[in-house]
Amino acid sequence: MLERYFMLPKTIDRVRSCWLAEPIEQYIVWLTERRYTTASIVRRVPVILGFADFAWSRGARRVRELAKHVDAFVRRRLRCRLRSCGSSKAKLAYISELRRPIEQLLRIVLPRPAMPAAEPFAHWAPRLFAYLREERGLRDETLRLYRHHIVRFEDYLTRRGIRHPKALTPALLDGFVIEMRKHHCPRALHGVCSALRALLRHLFRVGTTTNDLSVVVEGPRIYQLAELPRSIAWDDVMKTLGCIDRRSKLGKRDYAILLLLAVYGLRAREVAALTLDDIQWRAEVLHIRGRKAGHATDYPLARQVGDAIVDYLQHGRPATTDRHVFLVIRAPRGPVTGRIVARQARQYLRVAGIRAPRLGSHTLRHSVAQRLVDANFSLKVVGDYLGHRSPSSTRIYGKVSIESLRELALGDGEEIL
């Protein structure tokens, strides 16, 4: 395997004479199986060799002793760097280039038994997340968000020395909500309070607490239809699509992704979950599974969308047995996630110079909805097209005529009035 990446015999001899020769070769095989490029592999091996020599000089003789030397190795490399990193961002990137191959190597040669993640409040609220998933029917995305907020609450109680559920008081709960208010907007804080109420209700349900404290958790008041849609004009949508360089593999993938967002108003996770089996080419149908409302939707496959997907499949998609349509371009290969879809949409909107609140994939989704409303489709039709669970989710798009207000703001308004 070494001969595949290194031409000089002295380089190969240096690797094989290293005391970590076997783990290094194992690491190279692991990188090759995940389709890392030759340049990436060649760049990683010298870092591992340097770390091996450094750890040996500090007394390391076994692989299990390596982890404690990683931080010292990174600090030494930073001190010995001939040229300054120039900025904090460049410094973080350099540190990542040092740490990533070492951490990957350690994960490979020191396999750990698969252990389930420890649940917060496991001793107070047994089977909390099983209850929320199986009986409340919450989705995995919601459960991950709940877990994040409940872990923050557990840390909050630990800092205040609370060791027993009987010590929970309304004042203590208010203190946590006030602390979270410093880091969350009102709508996000509403999610924090929802997670906290779910925990407190379960504590009362299993008998851990004698009173249902969930009734004292008051979130911020959010008025219905208080916000405006986050839509942009269709010309801005076309401008964003025009910013994508479709000559590269990444550009071909992202163009197809943004077309799906802009034509069908799909959510980021729905685009990420799309598989090759969901596209019926002969029938010209696009099947979207597992929507937020718990159903599936069939759309006619628009020619422009189909052409973009075919161009990506033929000239941009990596060769793999994975059935997901959209894959990560760089190794390690795998399907894109909803976060990647949202991040790429935000990036191209910024490149296009679009100004709107909270740019991202939902900006294009809102734009689809607003365009349908402006075309005089009923809110029921718009809601069905977007896969809304409740008609109340669609009402915000009928609140204002965005294009009329835009014309009024740019002109004297006489024609509209």
Among residues 267, 269, 291, 366, which one is catalytic? 267
Q: What angle do CA 164, 118, 196 make, to 5 degrees?
A: 55
Neighbours of 121 (CB within 10 A): 18
Hey, what long-range contacts does 163-169 have (CB within 8 A, 24 or more apart)?
Answer: 165/124, 165/203, 165/208, 165/209, 166/209, 166/210, 168/200, 168/209, 168/213
Given the residues 44, 362, 366, 371, the one annotated as active site: 362
Active site residue 35: no
d(CA 98, CA 92): 10
Active site residue 267: yes
Tokens matching residue 154: 């557990």
- Distances from the Cα of 369 to the Cαs of 174, 305, 395, in angstroms? 38, 18, 10
Q: Are 129 and 119 in contact (CB under 8 A)?
A: yes
202 has catalytic annotation: no
Residue 292 annotated among the catalytic residues of the structure:
yes
Question: End-to-end alpha-carbon separation of the chain, Å?
Answer: 75
| Distance in angstroms (rounded) separating the CA atoms of residues 159 and 337 | 34
**Catalytic residue list contains 397:** yes
Strands (E), 203-317: 279-280, 285-288, 297-300
Q: Which of 197, 365, 366, 371 is catalytic?
A: 365
Tell me phi and psi for residue 51, to 5 degrees: -70, -40
Give CA 285 to chain center in angstroms.
28
User: Quick one: which of 111, 104, 110 has its CA closest to 27?
Assistant: 104
Give the Cα separation of 402 and 238 in Å (integer).
17
> Is 365 a known active-site residue?
yes
56: amino acid identity, one letter: W
Identify the active-site residue in 35, 184, 292, 333.
292
Cα 365 to Cα 267: distance, rounded to the nearest angstrom: 7
Considering 201, 253, 371, 388, which one is annotated as catalytic? 388
The catalytic residue positions are 267, 292, 362, 365, 388, 397
